[in-house]
Amino acid sequence: MYISYDAGKCIFSIETANTKYAFQIVGGKHPVHLYYGKKDGAEVAEFENRFRSFSPYSPDEGRIYLADTCMSEYVGFDSGDFRTSSLKIQNANGDCATFLSYKDYRVFKGRLDLEGLPCADADENTETLELTLVDELTNVEVKLYYTVFADCDVISRYVTVKNNGDSAVTIKKIMSLTLDMPDHDYDMISLYGAHVNERNYQRVPLFYGNQSIGSRRGASSHQFNPFIALCRKDADEVSGGVYGFNFVYSGNFLDEVEVDQTGGARVQLGLGSENFDWRLNAGDTFVAPEAVMTYSDTGIGQMSRNFHKFTLEHILPPEPFENRPVVLNTWEACYFDIDEKELLRFADTASKCGIDMVVMDDGWFGARNHDRAGLGDWYENRDKFKDGLKPFVDKMKAYGIKFGIWVEPEMVNPDSDLYRAHPEWCVQCRGREGMLSRSQLVLDMGNPAVLDYLKDIFSKTFDGVAIDYFKWDMNRHMSQVGSPILPADRQGEAAYRYMLGVYDLFRWFRAKYPNAMIENCSGGGGRYDLGMMKYSTMIWTSDNTWCRKRIRIQYSSMLAYPASTMSCHVAGLKHCEVPEQLKYIYEVALGGALGYELHLPNASDELRAAVKVQIGNYRKYEDLILRGDYYSIMNPYETNISAYYYTNADRDRILLSFLQNEPEEKSREITIKVCEAQADATYYDEIGKDTYTGEQLRQGVTVATDDSGWNSRMWYFVKQ
């Protein structure tokens, strides 16, 4: 049992392997937060009223509970708490006051399935606390869920709202996770960026006021990832308290932290209010997406590993192949020039080099000879495939490789048969001309007719074709967001309904083509989130394939997501002049799931031979990268070095990487400590052909920086 209730004190406790969470029902009504942190030695103090002038209180209760200054589990708007709220509902009479009082609870094995939404899979240990709150005036019932993934030290939070009243209400803001913290002595880590520059690491102290990140783009976005962490000022990789938070959703979101007059910090993750409202008719229920949180008292590294384990065990779909295929993608080599004969050359060379799969990227369908036409017309271009797609794919596979194909289901070019037939199928605001981005418009995925069309055309084109892999792309953000099929008072639902439609189509793909894996992509890593990871085995990390930039993008992606989700291609080889460059680019790509993005058929014999050797080596330790434990040693945002290792549970195999980012005129010696090595063991480095004791590894291996600009080194330690 991870969840318990002390009826005498009205205290709920939730425990994971190393953490504890507690709250108390005060005055029979108010769920007040007490504690979240380390389990060992936790002292959970009972509720104490924190008085401040100007705080409203209920005349019935007096000042026993001041909503504005106490820590709360979930906060109704205009309920006497002036801080940012968790839930704002416009009631039938037009006001937005939302008072939530505790009604009852239940604890059950497993979890609530969030219909239509991605959510974490339960296992035999999963347990859930359901807490029912009610607004007695309007009869709106709110259920808060706390689902425990004890081994991962993760607690997930989600919310349902049911209108038990007799008139419609409108949800104007909804957050899935509210966590009130007693102080704000934290730095906030968040990941900001842009297209070709995703997930930059930013660590800044909390300040009084509201600080937030989010997306209003219809996608979780390149600009801000939904992951955030709050860490104690002195927290580093291996020590200090760190809270991590993430959202299992791929559309608009809001992560906010508000530091208030008490010095406390309110952390919230959810759909927010700016791009969302939802009309809730009498009897209807709204289900908000899941948010997750973890705590580590041993630094940032453990917080990341908690999330890695959680994602690997509870989010990612089962993999269809025994080994993750090493992919050769055509994009940077061919762009839109898809040519049957050329692709067969790709298949031939790929198979000779040990590559498992060729992915035919954009350009194979409709009138897609450039990015201004064809999206939406998901049938093969007969000028490019004279006999059709199936005979072509059969010829490709005759080389003994797997075959992948690119799709961008959510989009349409105005220059397409689909748009000409159905302009009303686009996301749009009535009477306004839609704005273009990459010459494309967004399909209204909340419209069932659009989903029916897509399912039908993909079935016609792909059924019977031996496709092993879909690369699912999404190359613009949503503007002028409205849906022609929704009435005026439901236009605020369009973006959310869009995401439900996207998830529906993902589930359809997975059910229809169960032996194919999906690589998610949004102009690179524009939807690098737990929602997408529920359906896609990996994500195209960034359209920026330049190794130096990738070092940083990979570091910060690893803060929240496991390496197996990170699609890392050896690319940019046209810049290569010396073999060290190829080695360096490869060693950067070994941070995640290895692939290639180059014109292999036109490459030199030396390059092809090198690729074959690289893949052979990767095979020796890919399990460590894809499923091992990750330890970061040097942060490339703080130093010129990235150093990290992957190791298995027994710590008898360790893959260590050192990557120097920029050249250094003056060489210096760096010591890299492999603290997870077994002190009394002996390890043989199969790359450097040298022997070390575990104690030596713990003290650190040394390596020198240089001015070459291509300085990297790897060690593969195997216990003897």
Contact set with ligand DGJ (CB under 6 A) = 331, 361-362, 406, 473, 475, 521, 523-524, 540, 543
* Structure token digits, residue 703: 């390596």
Sign, CA torsion 706/708/710/716: negative
Residue 469 bridge partners (DSSP):
404, 517
Q: Would you report the helix, strand and coil content of the chain in percent, each value rounded to 5?
A: 25, 35, 45
Residue nearest ligand DGJ, Cβ-based = 362
CB 213 within 8 A of CB 273: no
In whole angstroms, how close is the CB of 226 to ligand DGJ at the nearest point?
20
Closest by CA position to 685, among listed 641, 711, 694: 694
Catalytic: which of 81, 135, 255, 473?
Answer: 473
C-alpha closest to that of 482 among 434, 527, 436:
434
CA distance 634 to 636: 6
Q: Which two structure tokens, joined as six digits, stand for 314?
A: 């509870």
Q: In terms of CB distance, is 162 or 569 closer to ligand DGJ?
A: 569
- Within 13 Å and on the Cβ side, how many CA atoms surround 91? 18
Complex with ligand DGJ: residue 325 or 524, whichever CB lies closer: 524
Candidates 180, 255, 444, 543; catalytic one: 543
Closest to ligand DGJ by CB, 362 or 493? 362
Q: Decide whether 351 or 475 has the Cβ nearer to ligand DGJ.
A: 475
Q: Tell me which residue has tokens 């499923």.
A: 627
Q: In degrees, to the nearest 5, what angle opens at C-alpha 335 toward C-alphas 333 and 341?
A: 70
Nearest distance, CB of residue 327 and ligand DGJ, angstroms: 11
In the complex with ligand DGJ, the residue whose CB is nearer, 180 or 361, is 361
Q: 153 or 361, CB closer to ligand DGJ? A: 361
The tokens for 251 are: 């559309």
> Residue 541 is which amino acid?
T
Give whichever of 169 and 411 is closer to ligand DGJ, judged by the CB atom.
Answer: 411
| Sheet containing 690-693, strands listed edge to edge, beginning at the edge strand earlier in sequence | 629-634, 641-647, 653-660, 712-719, 682-685, 690-693
User: Nearest-5° angle of CA 428, CA 220, CA 440?
Assistant: 40
Alpha carbon distances (Å) from 648 to 606, 644, 654: 33, 14, 7
Number of other residues whose CB lies within 10 A of the CB of residue 428:
22
Closest CB to ligand DGJ among 325 and 523? 523
- Between 540 and 716, name the residue whose CB sits nearer to ligand DGJ: 540
Active site residue 135: no
Residue 473 annotated to the active site: yes
Residue closer to ligand DGJ, measured from CB, 81 or 473:
473
Residue nearer to ligand DGJ on the CB measure, 173 or 471:
471
Residue 580 CA to residue 347 CA, distance in Å, equals 27
In this structure, are strands 224-232 and 285-287 parallel, antiparallel, or unpaired? unpaired
In angstroms, give the least distance from the CB of 597 to ligand DGJ: 8
Phi, psi at residue 269, to the nearest 5°? -130, 135
CB of 346 to ligand DGJ, least distance (A): 15
Closest approach, Cβ 331 to ligand DGJ, in A, equals 4
In sequence order, what are the residues at sequence separation of 6 or more whose Cβ sits closer than 8 angstroms to the Cβ of residue 168? 92, 279, 280, 281, 282
Q: Number of helices (H) and strands (E), helices first, in the chain?
A: 12, 38
Q: How far is CA 82 from the centre of its chain?
A: 31
Toward ligand DGJ, which CB reaches closer, 168 or 196?
A: 196
CB of 517 to ligand DGJ, least distance (A): 16
Choice between 550 and 653, CB closer to ligand DGJ: 550
> Cα–Cα distance between 508 and 486 in angstroms, integer?
24
Amino acid at 493: E
Query: Least distance (Å) from ligand DGJ to the CB of residue 473?
Result: 5
Distance (Å, rounded) from C-alpha 203 to C-alpha 186? 10
Instruction: Tell me how far apart the alpha carbons of residues 393 and 101 are, in angstroms, rounded to a whole number.
Output: 60
Residue holding tokens 């709920």?
12
Instruction: Report the alpha-carbon distance of residue 50 to residue 26 in Å, rounded.
Output: 13
Task: Tell the smallest beta-carbon distance from residue 433 to ligand DGJ (Å).
Answer: 24
Amino acid (one-letter) located at 481: V
Provide the 3-class DSSP secondary structure of residue 688: coil
Give the span between the Cα atoms of 410 and 594, in whole angstroms: 27
**Least distance (Å) from ligand DGJ to the CB of residue 475?**
5
CA quadruple 613, 614, 615, 619: dihedral, nearest 10? 100
Alpha helices, DSSP H, located in 387-472: 389-397, 417-421, 448-462
Q: How far is CA 640 from CA 281, 515, 548, 635, 666, in A?
A: 57, 42, 11, 8, 13
Q: Checking DSSP bridges between strand 209-215 and strand 253-259, what pairing results, if any?
A: antiparallel
Structure token digits, residue 392: 């072509």
At residue 451, φ and ψ (nearest 5 deg) are: -65, -40
Active-site positions? 473, 543
